[in-house]
Structure 1
Amino acid sequence: MGEVNICPKNQTEVDVAGKKLGCGQDKYGHSQYMCIPNEEKTALVEFCYNGVMGIEFKGSCLEASEGKVISKNCSSFAFGCPDEHVYKYEFFKYPACQYIDVQHRCYKLDPLCPPEQKWNNTDWNNTDDILTGISIFLGCMAIIIIIIVLWKMRRDQKNG
């Protein structure tokens, strides 16, 4: 089993990856190439499955565990979990089952998986961006205040 950064997203990419690994076909002519997360969800792994590419029940993702392929319930996912029975050779059609957070070791679409940080502490070290934003905001506020003051002065001169 080799680790990959992304899994194939369509049949053409599956065929290319399967050829690269030297995967054969099962007795029904289906590619035995698979790309799924490992059970720990620390990596996506690709390999040639040894056996018939059978059907998995709806509501399940596949994981690689100690040389075997196991099912994992995904019915709680926000979306993307197979909602019908699916052939193993068609799992590329369900990218939610490959969308993992390796830091938290979970499926990203699982509601129990912590949300990704949109920023980290190093973002705050870039004070130039922060100061620029503050300067623009204060400049706009100053212009608005000046316009209001001038408008009031002009109105008072006309009335007074």
Structure 2
Amino acid sequence: MALYGHIRLLSVLLGTFLSFCLPLYECKELDGYKFPVYSTELCPRNQTEWNERSSAINCTKDNGYLCFPNEKFTQLLEFCHRARFIWIQEGYCLYLRTDDSTIYSYSCSSFQSGSECHTSSFPSYDLFKYPSCTSIGNGCFLAEPSCKGIDTTTQPPETTKTIQVEIASMNANKTLENNEFANNDEMIMIPILSGVLISISFCIACIIYRRGIQFRKRHDDEEQHTERALELSQLIQTDEYDNTALVVQGISAT
């Protein structure tokens, strides 16, 4: 009985320990979105964590991992996007709205010194380099001077600029696909063009060779014809000379 009691006590202690030591990145799938979206305590802070979270929610090379706040800035969300990545424009952070499952942008020009807004565009897979865009609390970005601890659970602030980035992401994905198709087309076209050029060169060489043979044959025929003509001409001249001699002899005999 004492052993059984100790086992139960250890089980309780182990359960308590695990409940406090669960990873911060434990995620839970949320309802209300058009695709799988998970809640998370923190967005990745380096490349290793980014890769781990991407694998954990089964993102692929064609469906890139993203981590943004929700539209109320009360929760961080991670999900796999239909594009490999999206471009995050300078001066803006991004968030995901629930009602239409669309990514929108939010001006970060008012962020305080030390958590400055990024001054150049960057691909979404480098988001961990700009933590001010994923550091939220009390319903706002922590880098904002107005973020004073009041939990705003209504619509996003008026400074929110709802610029959809879906077109940019689709264009980026389409550009990558077009580049891949272009590279594949080039790899396919190179041997085809080489084969065509070799075939054309071979045909031209054959035509030149055949014409050379025909020209040489014609030249030889002309030479033979000329030689025959000369021979016949000499024979004719000889016959004429012989006939003339016979005529002269006949006249003399008379």
TM norm. shorter chain > 0.5: yes
Amino acid in structure 1 at the alignment position of 2:65: Y
For 1:17, which of 48, 53, 69 is the aligned residue? 53
Which TM-score applies when normalising by structure 1?
0.64
Percent of aligned pairs sharing the same letter:
34
Shift of 1:74: 0.4
**Alpha-carbon distance in 2 for matches of 1:59, 1:34:** 18
Amino acid in structure 2 at the alignment position of 1:2: Y
Q: Whose relative contact order is higher, 1 or 2, with alpha carbons under 8 Å and at least 6 apart? A: 1
**Alpha-carbon distance in 1 for matches of 2:131, 2:116:** 7
Deviations 1:41-89 (A, max 9, x none): 1100111111241322101111011322111110110123211111112
For 1:62, which of 94, 108, 113 is the aligned residue? 94
Shift of 1:36: 1.1
**Is the radius of gyration larger for structure 1 or structure 2?**
2
* Unaligned stretches of 5+ residues in structure 2: 1-36, 151-254
Counterpart secondary structure, 2:68: strand
* Unaligned stretches of 5+ residues in structure 1: 117-160
**Alpha-carbon distance in 2 for matches of 1:41, 1:59:** 18
For 1:48, which of 80, 83, 104 is the aligned residue? 80
Which TM-score applies when normalising by structure 2?
0.41
* Equivalent position of 2:65 in the other structure: 33
Q: Does 1:94 align with 2:130?
A: yes
The structure in which a higher percent of residues are helix is 2
**Alpha-carbon distance in 2 for matches of 1:8, 1:110:** 21
Shift of 1:107: 0.5
Deviations 1:105-128 (A, max 9, x none): 110111111159xxxxxxxxxxxx
**Alpha-carbon distance in 1 for matches of 2:84, 2:50:** 17
* Equivalent position of 1:3 in the other structure: 39
Deviations 1:15-44 (A, max 9, x none): 010001000123xxxx71111111111100
Q: Is the 8 A contact 1:80 1:97 kept in 2?
A: no
* Equivalent position of 1:113 in the other structure: 147
Q: Does 1:75 align with 2:84?
A: no
Amino acid in structure 2 at the alignment position of 1:17: R
